[in-house]
Amino acid sequence: MAAAMLWAWQAAAPPCALAQWAMGRGDKPAVLDVAVMQVEERGAAAARLAWHDPDSEIWVRPLSDGETALMLVNRAARAVSVDVIWRELGLGEKRATLRVFDVLRRKNLGKIHGGFAHRLEAGACALFRLEP
């Protein structure tokens, strides 16, 4: 049953559409993911474009519980690696360490010091929760 529900979610709402909606950037998909809904419901302010280049964008959205939602978007027709650096995005001091949770993969990435790099396939996006 769970596999059928997961398949229905993937067929009806691609991860990028879910991430865009959670960040207030797109229409509400017909089928929703619980973890993504929690990000959208806890939004304390509008998402802001924190960084971009011709191939990728990084969006940041404060959440009501003090966490931050982070969305990476690949606009290129090829895979890219997006560098997320806390200080450059205004997410902490030079030596900041944040706990990172991959919302779409439901994976705790642990405490990360300074930032991280994330590979995105063509046209893909990723959604993370950052906890101080």
pLDDT digits (tens, 9 = 90+) for 23-35: 887 787 766 677 7
Radius of gyration of the chain from its Cα atoms, rounded to whole angstroms: 14
77: its two tokens: 């027709």
* Full-model pTM: 0.81
What confidence tier does 102 reach under pLDDT thresholds 50, 70, 90? Answer: very high
* Cβ proximity of 68 and 105 under 8 Å: no
Amino acid at 42: R
Rounded to whole angstroms, the Cα distance separating 18 from 72 reads: 12
* Cβ proximity of 84 and 72 under 8 Å: yes
Rounded to whole angstroms, the Cα distance separating 92 from 80 reads: 25
Residue 58 has pLDDT above 50, yes or no: yes
What confidence tier does 15 reach under pLDDT thresholds 50, 70, 90? Answer: confident
Rounded to whole angstroms, the Cα distance separating 28 from 41 reads: 12
Please tell me whether residue 69 adopts helix, strand or coil conformation.
strand
pLDDT at 100: 97
CATH for 2-131 is 2.60.40.1180
Q: What percent of the chain has pLDDT over 90?
A: 52
Residue 89 has pLDDT above 80, yes or no: yes
Residue 131 has pLDDT above 60, yes or no: yes
Compare 115 and 92 and report the one with higher pLDDT: 115
What confidence tier does 92 reach under pLDDT thresholds 50, 70, 90? Answer: confident
